[in-house]
Amino acid sequence: MTDINSKIPEGPLAEKWKNYKAHQKLVNPANKRHLDVIVVGTGLAGASAAATLAEQGFNVLDFCIQDSPRRAHSIAAQGGINAAKNYQNDGDSVYRLFYDTIKGGDYRAREANVYRLAEVSSNIIDQCVAQGVPFAREYGGLLDNRSFGGVQVSRTFYARGQTGQQLLLGAYSALSRQIGKGKVKMYTRHEMVDLVIVDGRARGIITRNLITGKLERYAAHAVVLATGGYVNTFFLSTNAMASNGSAAWQCFKKGAYFANPCMVQIHPTCIPVHGDFQSKLTLMSESLRNDGRIWVPKKLEDAKALQAGTKKGKDIPEEDRDYYLERRYPAFGNLVPRDVASRAAKERCDAGFGVNNTGLAVFLDFNEAIQRMGKEAVTQKYGNLFDMYQEITDENPYETPMMIYPALHYSMGGLWVDYELETSIPGLFAIGECNFSDHGANRLGASALMQGLADGYFVLPYTIQNYLSDQIQVPRFKTDAPEFAEAEKSIQARINKLMGIQGKESVDSIHKKLGHIMWEYIGMARDAEGLKKAIEELKALKKEFWTNVHIPGKGDDQNIELEKALRLADFIEIGSLMAHDALDRAESCGGHFRTEHQTEEGEALRHDDKFMYVSCWEYKGEDEDPVMNKEMLNYQFVVPMTRNYKK
């Protein structure tokens, strides 16, 4: 087993980042312009990093798969962004944000990283306001806040129900400014298909031009991955259609550790599944839980009537409703963290109390809020979400309660990074959702935007210089080096192989099968037997894919099916790694729930004596099982406790 060094600076928690910055190596302005950095991705992390690195003077090459950097999936985040500003005078502080995040993550995140995140959170809000992000304001002209799950203060800044959009457009505008100045060279509709390593360091990438189908080579002094998460492994998720884990997976196959792959988040408030043709699940913002009340009927016969369609939610009298979150968790009520809310919904539905035709839905009811605040105030706060719900379901949430069910949403796991956000491959960095670092086993609401922007604006632009400072003597790389040729040759062979299969099944139909295996065995509740079964079924599915997938068209041309097939080949392997990780972690924590490990009340049961570590998986070859290394988590400042949202 390799000894894993996370390079956490010495000193008291609150001094670590300051000390790091005071003593790190920097690159002087004259040298910066001789250094090139590749950034893959233009979401909150990628766009903010690319813009900031270019402002500092580095030459940046930025890549995205969409037709414009403005379309990265960060744009779909609705609810808000956390920051320890304490503008509401409700007792918030950097320490409290740090503590809430550590606790929310079920004590499986790194203390030093999380503290730094909380520390820079305030700078993010300042930065975004300076860029012209139109956050919600009070009549006095100051910024408004709301509260989110798992916390007892109001620290979430928001821009209607479109906070992700506004923050991303802010980062996009900063990025656009640098593109206009020529400091960032932007490549849209380019997908990274391999990482190039020269003498043990990340030195470039191979991309596939999604319009011409041609493979292209790009070199730089360092590579930054900001390619998001991998929950589309499940086929149905709240991610965008093209969101994928392939770039990170290529890095894993080239030697980067993949950390905590089993830790994915299932978001409690999504519109329920309604048919086989369905392509994605739509999230309804967590902010709805501020005023909406979640319930199912108390009586089984009422649930049966709802499932049969003979009764509607509003027909069930108040005294026959079970507001189960308020019942089980009086202190936090409807605002418990996402993992807790999701499992509670599953528990009720498994017991037969589901409220739609599939029995897999619970009510989110605004009746009480409308009476308390008035319909106008509710519209003001949530109008766009209500409209969206009505368009999708053809039901009016002002009159009948919404129906929701948990869905895959976010991956806490990802590429392993140290305190400097560098992976185990020198010169390869990972930021935003594609790394594993800050959320432990469960991410709190409004923390993804915070982490993406913290990494991109305020952390990576510092830490990467510690690496680049000894690269100033290294001349620009040529892409005709043998390492580039070899990487291109192997991806070309992979494409040829895929195109040569000419089987009978479409990519999507195999992806749906993958989704079923994932949801059944590696979803909200997992057990050893099921996970072992999943590993076997995934092996069979991998074989099925590589012998029977059908891809029309040509490999060296625009080919939307080939794009999906390349991603699916990796999703199947990611699924398998998730199963291995979930099997190893014989405890329940955050989003990872092993049914063998729960309290008598059905709450998650951690085993801190055995599992206080980050699992860092190492690739060992095509048909070999991956090997796990451990980064032990030494909590020096916080005492891990059982999470309690009851009192």
Gap between the Cα atoms of 496 and 499, Å rounded: 5
Residues 6+ positions from 166 with CB-CB distance below 8 Å: 128, 133, 134, 135, 159
The angle at the Cα of 464, spanning 461 to 470, to the nearest 5 degrees, equals 135
**Choices 24-32, 128-136, 290-298, 437-445; region in contact with another protein by CB under 8 A:** 128-136
Among 331, 351, 377, 392, binds another protein (CB under 8 A): 392
Does residue 466 touch another protein according to CB under 8 A? Answer: no
Residues 14-73 that bind another protein (CB under 8 A): 48, 51-52, 55, 66-73
Closest separation between CB of residue 143 and another protein, Å? 6
The values of phi and psi at residue 359, to 5°, are 75, 10
Write down the least CB distance from residue 211 to another protein, Å: 6
**In this complex, which beta carbon is closest to another protein, that of residue 506 or of residue 598?**
506
Question: How do 627-632 and 414-415 pair as beta strands?
Answer: unpaired
| Residue written as token pair 């209607």 | 160
Q: In the window 175-234, what residues touch another protein (CB under 8 A)?
A: 176-177, 179-180, 186, 188, 211
Q: Applying CB under 8 A, which of residues 4, 14, 26, 143 lies at the interface with another protein? A: 143
Binding to another protein (CB under 8 A) within 551-590 occurs at: 552-553, 558, 560-561
> Measuring CA to CA, which residue among 320, 325, 477 is closest to residue 406?
325
How many other β-carbons are positioned within 10 Å of the β-carbon of residue 625?
12
Alpha-carbon gap, residue 258 to 433, rounded angstroms: 13
Is residue 232 within 8 A of residue 571, CB to CB? The reply is yes
Q: Is 11 in the site for another protein (CB under 8 A)?
A: no
For residue 232, the minimal CB distance to another protein (Å) is: 12
- Which structure tokens are listed for 623? 């048909």
- Write the interaction track for another protein spanning residues 323-342; mark x where CB under 8 A is met and - where it is not: --------------------
Q: Which is nearer to another protein, 127 or 424 (CB)?
A: 127
The single residue among 234, 457, 611, 645 that binds another protein, judged by CB under 8 A, is: 457
131 binds another protein per the rule CB under 8 A: yes
Q: From residue 430, give the alpha-carbon distance in Å to each of 3, 416, 436.
A: 20, 8, 9
* Pick from 25, 56, 44, 22: nearest CA to 461: 56
Q: Interface with another protein includes 159 (CB under 8 A)? A: yes
Instruction: Find the binder of another protein among 16, 116, 160, 513 (CB under 8 A).
Output: 160
- Under the binding rule (CB under 8 A), the answer on residue 550 touching another protein is yes
Q: Which SS3 state, helix, strand or coil, does residue 361 take?
A: coil
Nearer to another protein, 183 or 217 (CB): 183
CA distance 426 to 143: 41
Query: Does 379 sit near another protein (CB under 8 A)?
Result: no
Q: Which stretch binds another protein (CB under 8 A): 101-109, 330-338, 396-404, 547-555?
A: 547-555
Q: Dihedral sign, CA of 278, 279, 283, 284?
A: negative
What tokens does 521 get?
């065995």
* Token code pair at residue 515: 């989704």
Q: Annotated catalytic, 338?
A: yes
Comparison of 97 and 583: residue with beta carbon closer to another protein: 97
Q: What angle do CA 99, 442, 118 make, to 5 degrees?
A: 35
- How far apart CA 291 and CA 593 sit, in angstroms, is 28
Name which position in 24, 31, 93, 123 contacts another protein (CB under 8 A): 123
Q: Which one of 277, 317, 475, 482 is in contact with another protein (CB under 8 A)?
A: 277
Catalytic residue among 70, 71, 289, 338: 338
Neighbours of 118 (CB within 10 A): 27
The site string for another protein over 282-321 (x = CB under 8 A, - otherwise) reads xx--------------------------------------
Q: Which is nearer to another protein, 415 or 549 (CB)?
A: 549
Q: Which of 17, 172, 416, 477 binds another protein (CB under 8 A)?
A: 172
- Please give the Cα distance from 409 to 265 (Å, whole number): 6
Site string for another protein, 588-617 (x = CB under 8 A): ------------------------------
| Number of residues lying near another protein (CB under 8 A) | 81
Asked whether position 377 contacts another protein by CB under 8 A, the answer is: no
Scanning 90-98, 198-206, 274-282, 626-634 for contacts with another protein by CB under 8 A, the matching segment is: 274-282
SS (H, E, C) 450-492: HHHHHHHHHHHHHHHHHHHHHHCCCCCCCCCCHHHHHHHHHHH
Torsion over CA: 264, 388, 160, 382 (sign): negative
Please give the positions annotated as active site. Answer: 338
